[in-house]
């Protein structure tokens, strides 16, 4: 895998979120130590690879469109790109897009952003030609507290004339040193198509499979057991050998002891290996599948104990993002997921798709509606999430919130999260890190980040309010985990029974 591919996979997880605020961590923990310095050196230069360049965007009268900072034709020096492909906005300034409008009409406008508390009351405006809509900055709130990202509607339609036009987002009269907000995108919704857009939204909600079993389970475990995992002594087996040597029985016994109701197994991640004989996967990633079907064997071992298996897949490494075009990306994802689902049927109860907010930006024509249908192949009750990280949902065509938060955040409200923010309308699900990384690429295993009391209280409160919690455990290449982490989870199980 190229360094660029590794960097792409890092972008979705280069930061984690703590209650009441957001803190960054080094992205290098997700890659091999031997390439860490190289990746960090080129991170800044490659971070823009995921962005649509400053080309003319097509605005259609029958579908919403998102205008991202990376696709702007121009932006003032007050805007600085940061991790996660958002832009920190300080002082007065403007960002402008060139668009091709296929038909004149009115458009509702929404702002995908996180406001700075000190800038509440600041004016901003969106304009095109003679049409302008204005907004007074208010505090954005959500599951991450103040400064959560949300999709904020702006009153009044923006009139767009047909043909090539400019759309500008500007903030006048802000003090030079004042941090105003962090900008992700500007959303345009054609008024003439609102009924059809709402009908699609309602259809998506009706199509969702039940997630009641997720709440009943209360909590589960995730294992980033990948081609980059190492042994306790620092050795590293070839992936196929590691798959052949993996003993599923001790794993199932351990999970059962913790009281977890489900398991996520990471398939792919930074390097796109699959521990099973999926022909479509082999087609796009030759030599990176295995004869042994570890996924099926693990599912059987877990299912025998009443524990469900779900799978993590990374759309970036799997489908060649950002090198692949939209048609190739769509074809790869559809073929792989369809065969995967038909092969495993009820053995795989759900999917957790990573890097979806990047994919939505890069491939605006990708149909999440059709992808959702492909995800149901072999099991119509399979549940799906599309990771949008700290941002509002990338699509209504999913069942539960990916919840990549790292540490406990705000509790669910009636089983979901606050309106307009990350996870809104989806089943609440929070993904925590027991150790300060996803993949076990070091010999030592740090002590658990959570005590049984803290973790147990959070799980209990989430479950009581209709949510579920997943805890990622570091796992060595032989399939073993930290006994201290297991003991914490055993105690959690006692507390919430």
Q: 104 is written with which tokens?
A: 């004149």
- How does strand 57-59 pair with strand 468-473? unpaired
In 3D, which of 306, 307, 216, 230 has the Cα closest to residue 265? 307
Burial label, 272 (beta-carbon count in 10 A; 0-12, 13-18, 19+): buried
Q: Extract the runs of DSSP E, i.e. beta strands, from 333-427.
A: 350-354, 383-386, 404-406
Residue 412 within a domain: yes
Residue 201 within a domain: no
**Alpha-carbon dihedral sign for residues 402, 406, 410, 414:** positive
Residue 200 within a domain: no
Q: Extract the runs of DSSP E, i.e. beta strands, from 172-277.
A: 179-190, 219-223, 262-267
Whether residue 348 is found in the same domain as residue 227? yes
Return all residues near 208 (Cβ < 8 A) that are at least 6 apart. Answer: 383, 398, 399
Burial label, 452 (beta-carbon count in 10 A; 0-12, 13-18, 19+): middle
**By residue range, what is the domain housing residue 399?**
208-496
CB 348 within 8 A of CB 341: yes
Whether residue 463 is found in the same domain as residue 399? yes
The tally of domains found in the chain comes to: 3
Residue 480 within a domain: yes
Whether residue 61 is found in the same domain as residue 46? no
Q: Looking at residue 40, what is its pLDDT?
A: 32
Whether residue 451 is found in the same domain as residue 380? yes
Whether residue 390 is found in the same domain as residue 299? yes
Q: Which of 193, 219, 240 is the last residue of a domain?
A: 193
Whether residue 351 is found in the same domain as residue 245? yes
pLDDT in tens, the chain (497 residues): 333 333 434 433 333 333 233 333 323 333 333 333 233 333 333 444 444 446 799 999 999 999 999 999 999 999 999 999 999 999 999 999 999 999 999 999 999 999 999 999 999 999 999 999 999 999 999 999 999 999 999 999 999 999 999 999 999 999 998 999 999 999 999 999 999 999 999 999 999 999 999 999 999 999 999 999 999 999 999 999 999 999 999 999 999 999 999 999 999 999 999 999 999 999 999 999 999 999 999 999 999 999 999 999 999 999 999 999 999 999 999 999 999 999 999 999 999 999 999 999 999 999 999 999 999 999 999 999 999 999 999 999 999 999 999 999 999 999 999 888 999 999 999 999 999 999 999 999 999 999 999 999 999 999 999 999 999 999 999 999 999 999 999 999 999 98
Whether a cis peptide bond, with omega within 30° of 0, leads into 322 is: yes
Q: Looking at residue 54, what is its pLDDT?
A: 63
Q: Which of 132, 165, 193 is the last residue of a domain?
A: 193
CATH of the domain at 121: 2.60.120.260
Q: Looking at residue 177, what is its pLDDT?
A: 87
Return all residues near 12 (Cβ < 8 A) that are at least 6 apart. Answer: 84, 316, 354, 355, 357, 358, 387, 389, 404
Residue 481 within a domain: yes
Q: Which of 193, 220, 238 is the last residue of a domain?
A: 193
Compute the residue count for the chain.
Answer: 497
CB 421 within 8 A of CB 389: no
**Alpha-carbon dihedral sign for residues 12, 15, 16, 20:** negative
Residue 478 within a domain: yes
Whether residue 327 is found in the same domain as residue 389? yes
CATH of the domain at 431: 3.20.20.80
Residue 198 within a domain: no
Whether residue 264 is found in the same domain as residue 152? no
Return all residues near 370 (Cβ < 8 A) that are at least 6 apart. Answer: 334
Whether residue 216 is found in the same domain as residue 309? yes
CA dihedral angle for residue 58, residue 62, residue 67, residue 68, rounded to 10 degrees: -100
Residue 167 within a domain: yes
Whether residue 166 is found in the same domain as residue 265? no
Whether residue 398 is found in the same domain as residue 478? yes
Whether residue 279 is found in the same domain as residue 171? no
């Amino acid at each position: 895998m190229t360094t660029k591919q590794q960097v792409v996979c890092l972008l979705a997880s280069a930061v984690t979120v703590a209650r009441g605020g957001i803190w960054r961590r080094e992205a290098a923990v997700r890659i091999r130590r031997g390439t860490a310095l190289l990746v960090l050196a080129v991170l800044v230069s490659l971070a823009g690879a995921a962005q649509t360049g400053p080309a003319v965007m097509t605005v259609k009268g029958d579908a919403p469109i998102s205008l991202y900072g990376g696709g702007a034709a121009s932006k003032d020096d007050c805007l600085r790109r940061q991790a996660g492909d958002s832009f920190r906005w300080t002082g007065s300034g403007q960002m402008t897009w060139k668009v091709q409008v296929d038909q004149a009409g009115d458009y509702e406008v929404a702002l995908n952003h996180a406001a700075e508390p000190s800038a509440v009351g600041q004016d901003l405006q969106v304009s095109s030609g003679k049409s302008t809509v204005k907004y007074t900055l208010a505090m954005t709130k959500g599951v991450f507290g103040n400064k959560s990202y949300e999709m904020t509607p702006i009153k009044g339609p923006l009139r767009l004339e047909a043909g090539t036009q400019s759309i500008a987002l500007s903030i006048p009269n802000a003090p030079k040193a004042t941090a105003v907000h962090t900008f992700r995108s500007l959303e345009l919704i054609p008024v003439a198509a609102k009924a059809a857009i709402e009908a699609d939204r309602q259809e998506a909600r009706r199509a969702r499979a039940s997630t009641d079993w997720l709440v009943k389970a209360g909590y589960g475990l995730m294992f980033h057991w990948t081609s980059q995992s190492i042994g306790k002594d620092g050795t590293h087996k070839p992936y196929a050998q590691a798959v052949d040597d993996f003993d599923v029985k001790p794993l199932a016994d351990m999970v059962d002891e913790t009281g977890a109701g489900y398991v996520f197994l990471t398939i792919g991640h930074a390097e796109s290996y699959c521990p099973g004989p999926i022909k479509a996967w082999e087609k796009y990633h030759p030599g990176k599948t295995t004869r042994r079907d570890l996924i099926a064997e693990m599912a059987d071992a877990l299912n025998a104990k009443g524990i469900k298996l779900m799978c993590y897949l990374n759309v970036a490494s799997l489908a060649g993002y950002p090198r692949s075009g939209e048609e190739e990306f769509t074809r790869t994802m559809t073929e792989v997921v369809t065969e995967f689902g038909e092969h495993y049927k009820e053995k795989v109860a759900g999917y957790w798709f990573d890097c979806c907010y990047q994919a939505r930006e890069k491939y605006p024509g990708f149909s999440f509606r059709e992808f959702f249908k492909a995800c149901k192949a072999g099991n119509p009750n399979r549940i799906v999430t599309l990771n949008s990280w700290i941002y509002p949902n990338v699509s209504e065509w999913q069942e539960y919130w990916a919840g990549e938060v790292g540490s406990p955040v705000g509790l669910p409200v009636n089983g979901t999260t606050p309106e307009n923010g990350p996870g809104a309308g989806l089943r609440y699900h929070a993904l925590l890190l027991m150790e300060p990384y996803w993949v076990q690429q070091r010999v030592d295993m740090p002590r658990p980040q959570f005590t049984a009391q803290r973790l147990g209280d959070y799980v209990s409160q989430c479950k009581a309010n209709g949510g579920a919690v997943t805890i990622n455990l570091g796992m060595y290449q032989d399939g073993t985990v930290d006994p201290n982490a297991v003991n914490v989870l055993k105690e959690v199980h006692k507390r919430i029974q």
